[in-house]
Structure 1
Amino acid sequence: MKKLKFLSLLLVLTSLLFISCSKGNTISSETQTTSGVKIHYIDVGQGDAILIQYKDKNLLIDSSTSKEDKKFKNYINSLKIKKFDAIVATHPDEDHIGNMDWVIKNFDVGKFYAPKKKTTTAAFKDMVAELNNKDLKINVLKGGSTIDFSPDLKLDVFAPNSDNYGDDNNNYSAIIKLTYGNNTALFTGDAEKESESETLQKGYNLKSDILKVGHHGSSTSTSKNFLQAVNPKYAIISCGKDNKYGHPHIETIDKLKAAKVKYYRTDLDGTIIATLDGKTITFNK
């Protein structure tokens, strides 16, 4: 009889312990990983390279600078990628398209997207040459267009909204919003305040959980009104350690702090991977 009571008590205690552990089983956002959309904000020094993965599909946004080709190529190769279903060149600056010729040449490519802006740089010429070799056309990015990647994801393009920004390549940058379930992320290339203002005037729904901070955290981007419209929980700054431009500028950091936005920096945190499951967002560094 005593043995039966002891077993019953043990069973009750075990059940209570299981319930307690289940309720308290929360994992830090720095370490938890789940299935869903993975966004790799790749540490490529003073440049941009972002990889979006969903199921067996890959979308590349920018390809870093040729000065950091080893960092970029090693990271992409480590993931055993064979095909990019879509590639986006946000604008034709070398620190964003520096390795695009290598990507186009060495991988199967579905669709290629870029704004309507030409330059005479070697990086741009090499990119176009490889596109021609693969018989790939450039799908023009502009405000109101979309990117074809997966039916489960929305990729809306909010900028550029003009065909003429003079010699300022930055404002030709594509501003793209990804929506997956209730999760959202905004990618801004190097779009500066002029383009941000135009995007605000268009009335697009910029509200996003994650903001890829424009122009490596420069004070020329991330205006107060734009940041308020995006109202992010998290921000990612892609920049090189001790870069000569002083990115990110203190003005931008102060704005993020004032808005209570948790931010990560590739120069300090390395590659940052955000995982979106449609409801929650978690980060690995």
Structure 2
Amino acid sequence: MQKFKNLNVVLLLMLILILFLTGCEINPEESFQYNNEDLIVHFVDIGQGDSIFIQFPNGETSLIDAGPKVSSDIIVNYLKEMKVEKIDYIIATHPHEDHIGGLPEVIKNFEIGKIYMPDKTANTTIFKRLLSEIKSKDLKVNIPSAGEFIIDNNDLKYQVLAPNGDKYDNTNDYSIVSKITFKDNSFLFTGDAEKISEKEMVEKGYDLTANVLKVGHHGSSTSTTEEFLRKVGPAYGVISLAKDNKYGHPHKETIELLNKNGIKVLRTDELGNIIIKSNGKDIEVLDRNNLGNSIQEKNDEKVEENYIGNKNTKIYHSPDCNSLPKEENQMKFKSKEEAESKGYKLHEKCIK
């Protein structure tokens, strides 16, 4: 009888140990519970569209767009996993389905503070449903003016920079462009704003500088002019899009321009959810599985093959040159200096 008692005790202890170990397992969702000293920006992978969730260092939150309707569950579940109960500020950048499609479900499932939308309507089912959900919660739509502050504290500012007009031929140019500044760091969110809107922001003389740029219109060549990019001067360019999308996003011209300016490109179609943390001084890029600098490492890998040499001619080229040698004749270099130290000369038509 005593043996059975001892066995039961052992089994009980083993069960307690298993429960303890299970309970102490690190949950990747919980690993992103932040403290009130950090700004954390989540570029959520919702396919072909935009959705950006922001945790401010003052404890408030914001959601910029919510992707297409088919991704409603993705953004709602993402927020629930983050233990979100209230979204203080929602920005619907413009009334295209790939930006507002998930908002009705978000509004239905969470407590909402303020909602910001441009002065532009759409005769679509999803837009009407969005207005219906807003009305059902007795909320009102705020139409912001360019230059208006959503948050205006000493170390934390959330400002609207566009639209700067009220009559555009293209709905994309009605996009609400916003900027978050937290001490020495800043993020610029452009929605689908195109060249006209970018030009207006430059001409208005706004401070567009930002460490992180949400690249406009999913990397389309209709956005991200060189002049605008020079004014922003970001270290990172984040592009939200679906793999093999029918629009051909991101366009080659945009990627080439970002690369030319030394901007690290982070894409949701390649990396999934992208999370960037700021302590007001330093920017740290994370990913959804809490792999720390893995995204940084992936970008470093891309940079390592900056130049391609021809073993036969001893000429080196940029990777996008039209005169690259066959693969078996290629020699790859990390820099011009490395190529020239090996006796290679530059190809003047592709490298200046």
| Superposition TM-score, scaled by structure 1 size | 0.85
Once the two structures are superposed, what CA deviation does each residue of 1:83-122 show, in whole Å capped at 9, x if it has no partner? 0011110111110000111111221111111111111111
**Structure 1 counterpart SS, 2:246:** coil
2:168 corresponds in structure 1 to 165
From the superposition, tell whether residues 142 and 224 of structure 1 become closer, same or farther in structure 2 (CA, over 3 Å).
Answer: same
Task: Give distance in 2, aligned partners of 1:251 and 1:142.
Answer: 32
Task: Give distance in 2, aligned partners of 1:139 and 1:151.
Answer: 24
**Structure 2 counterpart SS, 1:52:** strand
2:200 corresponds in structure 1 to 198
- Structure 1 position 255 matched with structure 2 position 248: no
Do the aligned residues in 1 keep the contact of 2:151 with 2:159 (CA within 8 Å)? no
From the superposition, tell whether residues 60 and 208 of structure 1 become closer, same or farther in structure 2 (CA, over 3 Å).
Answer: same
1:4 corresponds in structure 2 to none
Task: Give distance in 2, aligned partners of 1:152 and 1:132.
Answer: 34
Do the aligned residues in 2 keep the contact of 1:85 with 1:149 (CA within 8 Å)? no
**Structure 2 counterpart SS, 1:43:** coil
From the superposition, tell whether residues 150 and 52 of structure 1 become closer, same or farther in structure 2 (CA, over 3 Å).
Answer: farther
Structure whose alpha-carbon radius of gyration is higher: 2
Q: How does 1:79-228 map to 2 (within 5 A)?
A: 79-148=82-151, 152-166=155-169, 168-228=170-230
Moved over 6 A (4+): none
Task: Give distance in 2, aligned partners of 1:112 and 1:227.
Answer: 29
**Structure 1 counterpart SS, 2:55:** strand
Identity %: 48
Task: Give distance in 2, aligned partners of 1:232 and 1:284.
Answer: 17
1:149: how far off? Answer: 8.0
**Structure 2 counterpart SS, 1:215:** helix
Do the aligned residues in 1 keep the contact of 2:72 with 2:105 (CA within 8 Å)? no
Once the two structures are superposed, what CA deviation does each residue of 1:187-236 show, in whole Å capped at 9, x if it has no partner? 00000001101111111010111000000000000001000100101110
1:252: how far off? Answer: 0.4
| Superposition TM-score, scaled by structure 2 size | 0.69
Task: Give distance in 2, aligned partners of 1:173 and 1:150.
Answer: 25
Shifted more, 33-42 versus 252-261: the winner is: 33-42
Q: What amino acid is aligned across from residue 122 of structure 1 in structure 2?
A: T
Q: What amino acid is aligned across from residue 159 of structure 1 in structure 2?
A: A
Structure 2, unmatched stretches of 5+, are 1-33, 288-352
Shifted more, 244-253 versus 50-59: the winner is: 50-59
1:12 corresponds in structure 2 to none
Task: Give distance in 2, aligned partners of 1:69 and 1:131.
Answer: 16
Do the aligned residues in 2 keep the contact of 1:114 with 1:140 (CA within 8 Å)? yes
CA RMSD of aligned residues (A): 1.7
Flag the structure with more relative contact order, 1 or 2, with Cα contacts below 8 A and sequence separation at least 6: 1
1:245 corresponds in structure 2 to 247
Task: Give distance in 1, aligned partners of 2:266 and 2:280.
Answer: 21
1:185: how far off? Answer: 0.4
1:74: how far off? Answer: 2.1
Q: What amino acid is aligned across from residue 260 of structure 1 in structure 2?
A: G
Task: Give distance in 1, aligned partners of 2:135 and 2:83.
Answer: 25
Q: What amino acid is aligned across from residue 147 of structure 2 in structure 1?
A: G
1:150: how far off? Answer: 6.7
1:73: how far off? Answer: 2.2
2:285 corresponds in structure 1 to 283
Task: Give distance in 1, aligned partners of 2:205 and 2:155.
Answer: 24
Task: Give distance in 2, aligned partners of 1:244 and 1:261.
Answer: 25
From the superposition, tell whether residues 80 and 151 of structure 1 become closer, same or farther in structure 2 (CA, over 3 Å).
Answer: farther
Task: Give distance in 2, aligned partners of 1:87 and 1:113.
Answer: 6
Shifted more, 61-70 versus 169-178: the winner is: 61-70
Do the aligned residues in 1 keep the contact of 2:276 with 2:283 (CA within 8 Å)? yes
**Structure 2 counterpart SS, 1:46:** coil
2:9 corresponds in structure 1 to none
Task: Give distance in 2, aligned partners of 1:182 and 1:144.
Answer: 20
Q: What amino acid is aligned across from residue 153 of structure 1 in structure 2?
A: L
Residues matched between the structures, number? 253
**Structure 1 counterpart SS, 2:95:** coil
Task: Give distance in 1, aligned partners of 2:145 and 2:152.
Answer: 17
